[in-house]
C-alpha cells in the first residue's frame, strides 16, 4: 500500500523563500554565521554552481540556488537591487542584527522601536538580499498602528514620501 504524500513537505510552511544569487555556496556559509542557518542539503551542478540547496533558519526553510542568467535566473547583484525583504522574527533583534553585521552584512536601517510594536532594523547581505530583523515587543490593533504611523509622519514628513 502506497503511503500518503503530504501536499506541503515536512519542515516547510505554505510560503517558502527561494533565493537566487551569485555564489550560493558562499551565501549559505554567510547565513550560517549571520543568522545561525543550518544547511539541510545541496545539489551541485557540473561546474560547481548550486542548482538547488535548502537551509533552515529557526523553524523556517529557505531554498537557495546560484544565478543562471542564461535561463533568466538573476540574483539581486545582477539586477542592481531587490524589492524583496526576507523578514526574520527573532528573540533578540539587537543580538541578531549585530551578528549579521559582524558576519559582513551592511546596515541599511538602524534598529529602533517601531510604531507597529516591533524592535526592527534592516541589513543587506553581501549577495544583495535585504533582511529585516525584528523582535515583537507590543501587541497593537490596526487602529493603534495607524495612529502611530500618523504620529511618525508628522514628526518625519520626508519618511514614506510625505510632504515637507
DSSP states of 113-125: E-TTSEEEEEEE-
pLDDT score recorded for residue 163: 42
- Give the global pTM: 0.89
d(CA 58, CA 99): 15
What is the reported pLDDT for 51?
97
Low-confidence ranges of the chain (pLDDT < 70): 159-164
What local confidence, expressed as pLDDT, does residue 112 receive?
A: 97
- State residue 162's pLDDT score: 44
pLDDT score at 159: 66
The set of cell numbers assigned to 139 is 501587541
Q: What DSSP designation does 3 have? A: P
Q: Which helix (H) or strand (E) holds 20?
A: strand 18-21
pLDDT (tens digit per residue) in 108-150: 999 999 999 999 999 999 999 999 999 999 999 999 999 999 9
- Find the helix or strand (DSSP H, E) in which 102 lies: helix 93-103
| C-alpha grid cell, residue 105 | 552584512
Cell numbers found for residue 143: 487602529
Amino acid at each position: 500500500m502506497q503511503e500518503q504524500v503530504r501536499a506541503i513537505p515536512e519542515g516547510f510552511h505554505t510560503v517558502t523563500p527561494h533565493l537566487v544569487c551569485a555564489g550560493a555556496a558562499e551565501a549559505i556559509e554567510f547565513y550560517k554565521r549571520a543568522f545561525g542557518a543550518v544547511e539541510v542539503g545541496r545539489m551541485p551542478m557540473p561546474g560547481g554552481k548550486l542548482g538547488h540547496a535548502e537551509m533552515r533558519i529557526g523553524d523556517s526553510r529557505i531554498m537557495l540556488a546560484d544565478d543562471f542568467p542564461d535561463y533568466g535566473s538573476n540574483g539581486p547583484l545582477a539586477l542592481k537591487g531587490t524589492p524583496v525583504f526576507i523578514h526574520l522574527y527573532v528573540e533578540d533583534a539587537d543580538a541578531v542584527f549585530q551578528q549579521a553585521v559582524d558576519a559582513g552584512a551592511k546596515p541599511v536601517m538602524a534598529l529602533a522601536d517601531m510604531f507597529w510594536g516591533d524592535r526592527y532594523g534592516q541589513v543587506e547581505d553581501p549577495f544583495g538580499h535585504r533582511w529585516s530583523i525584528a523582535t515583537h515587543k507590543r501587541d497593537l490593533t490596526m487602529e493603534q498602528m495607524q495612529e502611530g504611523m500618523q504620529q511618525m509622519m508628522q514628526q518625519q514628513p520626508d519618511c514614506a514620501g510625505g510632504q515637507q
